[in-house]
A and B are shown apart, each in its own frame.
Chain A
Amino acid sequence: MHLNAKIGLEIHVQLNTKSKLFCTCSTNLAKPNSHVCEVCLGMPGSKPVLNKKAVDFSVMLALALNCKVPKISRFDRKTYFYPDLPKNYQITQYNFPIAQKGYLQILNKKIQIRRIQIEEDPGAITYPYHIDVSKYSLIDYNRSGFPLCEVVTEPDFSSSKEVKKFLKMFISMIKHLGIYSSNNSFRVDTNVSIGRNPRVEIKNIGSIKDVVSAIEYEIYRQKFVLESGKKITQQTRRFAGSTTEAMREKETEEEYGHIIDPDLPPIVLTALHINQIKKKLPELPYQRAKRMFNQYKINKHQALAIVSEKELADFYEKVVKHIEPKFAAGWISTQLLKVLNYNNIYFSEINLTSQQFISFLKLIQAKEISDRAADLLLRELVLKPQNPKKLAEKLNLLNLTEDELSKLINIVLKKNKDSVDQYKKGKTKVLAFLIGQVIRESKGRADAKIVKELIMKKSFLY
């Protein structure tokens, strides 16, 4: 039974505006319930006033995702009762969202964007202990009214790998746009279906890694259900660390009784304003990759790998001020990303500085360390960034000094008198054996080229 998975995403990105979506309260971190006012607390009589910056940020995102931005969009009220929602309705966009119909290209595939909508975040519920054993919960309304952009894709993904690529590029994009920073929250709902079976929605997943795990588990679970002859029902599930668990069965679409929010006039965007935003768009990941390809003569795959994280691209461009770009690109796009992948972490999660990496690459260029030892050194460096030379010394990874190497070669040549003789008689094949012996004795801490030259010189002494 071969069935294709169909996956769609709803991504909620907190925009990094200075103030909230409908009031002037700060979005900075603060002690609970200190950044609140009558508007974000939904006090009777208060009214929302739209933060124009949040609209501009959303238009930037819409343009970057190749969306159509209509002249008029509106806010609606989505009514549901929940303690973290001060008005018991959320101001969101329903019938007339800020943007529609765009796409983002990944791996030769266009992932279509269905819509982008602006909405307000509810407050945050916290529990003193685990949710199941807590006798009470607390609500922090600091988050209430944070501006969110919800991006909804078509179910165009067929694997978690595609989702991962997409989300990485998406985050790189919103960071390049400057509308999001790592302090802001990023939450994803994903829907997964197999073949023509009903779709299952997994709500509120907080990181790319968890989205990937949730999708992988869900595909596995649904296949298992089908293979055991059972039926998949339309459901909402939650991600529980590594698996997903059922929250509720969904018979029909939920009923929120959306109406236009009469407190907010329509958002009217003139072509002129949209064009001004377009002109001011910063360099985006794909444009940056193209520039890097032209400017640094690195290959396409390397460039794309580097721009997949904004922090990595910034890092690379700092490094190339001191290191030959192709050489740096090689080490970043293969070795560094391999180590990150192996540890399942992103570059933005580590503290490796460009200065440290430059010193690291300089060790290689000066042949103070072999490629193999450098590989080992990098693994350590990624986990515990520090002075690379000192770390290499500590780990005994630096190449032998010329004196040390010279002594070592003397020993090897003495030990292998027969081979040296053969070499002198013209059997050049033996040279490789001798080099190998030296490198083995050095425990990899010698450069083959240097060893070769030294053996060629020294062999005549024996």
Chain B
Amino acid sequence: MTYLITKVKTKKGIPIVVKDNICTKGIQTTAGSKILEGFVPTYDATVIKQVKKAGCVIVGKSTMDEFGFGTFSTNCAYGVPKNPHDLTRSCGGSSGGVAGYISASKTRILGLGQSTGGSISCPASFCGIVGLTPTYGLVSRYGLIDYASSLDRIGPMAKTVKEVAWLLSKIAKYDSKDSTSIKTKPQDYTKFCGKSINGLKIGVPVEYLNKATKPVRDKILEAIKKLEKKGAKVSKISLKYTDAAIPAYYIIALSEASTNLAKFCGMRQGLQEEFKGNFNEYFSRIRSQGFGREAKRRILLGTFARMAGFKEEYYIKALKVKTLVVKDFQEAFKKVDVIMAPTMPTIAPKFSEIEKLKPIDCYKADALTAPVSLAELPHLSVPAGFVNKMPVGLHLISNYFEEGKIIQVGDAFER
């Protein structure tokens, strides 16, 4: 199967599959790119140290869109993972390898995914598993190969909410090696499982519902009924900056990505060849060979957006939009405890459909995950039934550091 780039012989322990952009000491870490082929980190990412301490053993490093650049795990340098529910369909991206592997596995297995613009929720939704993206700063990014440092988050993936809650408890700790890590009191998130949701206020943004296809929307409406039966008070809300989030997200993410990817030039790690010409020529040659099409596109777009003359119009404006999106959510959280929506507007598309998409259409597929990613809010995708035998994801979003609330609702929904 094409879920793993590197398979690891395991000892006894709780098996865990790790997205290949998280550094593992002594195990090749490629971030899904040819340019990092053969790169073996000399150190473990903080989350790896934490899960090892918790008794987990790494079974493999999973395929992914190169550096996380994709919504369907089709921009992979080491094979495209196929959806276990229908091998002609995508696993979703970019943590598609993790989601596919967990979904296909018959036994208990955990996963460490990573999201920049929805890369945990999207594959969780498409593969019918659970994925949680914690508040930015709750989980250390030290050892994560950066896509967009201000948006990147590592999060737990598994088959059940309780497993995800358990894994989150092990990795949600302050880390002095990551300057954006936030000091919080470690807690056991499994204690939110089994708690009643009676009286909890849940908001459903109309903009999100409208973006979903009818069958997906119907599944979400069913989910609302189920939660209402359990005592939740569901109301409709509006998030008016929803459409502004995608362009702002892509501009910020790609601007940062274009600087984060500058270091890959065939000098210190990964792809190398005989040095010919001057260093500029050598760097260009390695980068031309090592980066895939989508990586090149994103580096070019990101570089353009931060150049003098364009920066004000793009990068700076995008930062301003980000604050508006944040405000939008903060207004909503004055009225409700949790926001719920479809995770993705559709079920997992077929590869034959994806081939026909233009890059801009692929970017638009992030419409429901980009706003929460930009706002740095925690979000959880839980399976909400099937459409055409394909899983649909229910998205639960809470305010900063209120992971407990979405775990509580997600767990209640699951039971």
Contact = CB atoms under 8 A, between A and B. Distances in A.
A262 B142 contact: no
B388 interface: no
B241 to A, nearest CB: 21
Interface in A236-287: 253, 255, 257-259, 261-265
B179 A263 contact: yes
A79 B176 contact: no
B145 A89 contact: no
17 contacts: A43-B43, A44-B29, A44-B36, A45-B45, A46-B142, A49-B178, A50-B179, A77-B259, A81-B280, A86-B263, A89-B262, A255-B308, A257-B311, A259-B256, A259-B259, A263-B149, A265-B179
B15 interface: no
Given A77-B259, A262-B150, A83 B306 contact: no
Given A49-B176, A89-B259, A81 B265 contact: yes
Given A48-B179, A87-B262, 5 more contacts: A77-B259, A81-B279, A253-B308, A257-B308, A263-B146
Using C-beta atoms within 8 Å of the partner chain, give the interface range for chain A: 20 to 34
A257 B307 contact: yes
B302 to A, nearest CB: 9
B41 A43 contact: yes
B45 A43 contact: no
Interface in B176-198: 176-180
A275 B43 CA distance: 41
A49 B265 contact: no
Contacts of A45: 22-23, 29, 41, 45, 142-146
Contacts of A255: 307-308
A54 B142 CA distance: 22
Given A44-B269, A259-B255, A88 B143 contact: no
A182 B224 CA distance: 71
B22, B262, B265 pick with most chain A CB within 10 angstroms: B262
B178 A47 contact: yes
Contacts of A38: 41-43
Interface of B: 22-23, 29, 31, 36, 39, 41-43, 45, 141-146, 148-150, 176-180, 255-256, 258-259, 262-265, 267-269, 279-280, 283, 303, 306-308, 311, 315
| Interface class of chain B by DSSP | loop
A87 B177 CA distance: 18
A169 to B, nearest CB: 36
A86 B45 contact: no
A178 interface: no
A263 B149 CA distance: 6
B178 A79 contact: no
Contacts of A49: 176-179
A394 B177 CA distance: 64
Given A50-B179, A258-B306, A79 B259 contact: yes
A87 B264 CA distance: 8
Leading 7 A-B pairs by shortest Cβ distance: A262-B150, A88-B262, A262-B149, A257-B306, A45-B23, A45-B143, A44-B145
Nearest to B145: A44
B23 A44 contact: yes
A81 B299 CA distance: 14
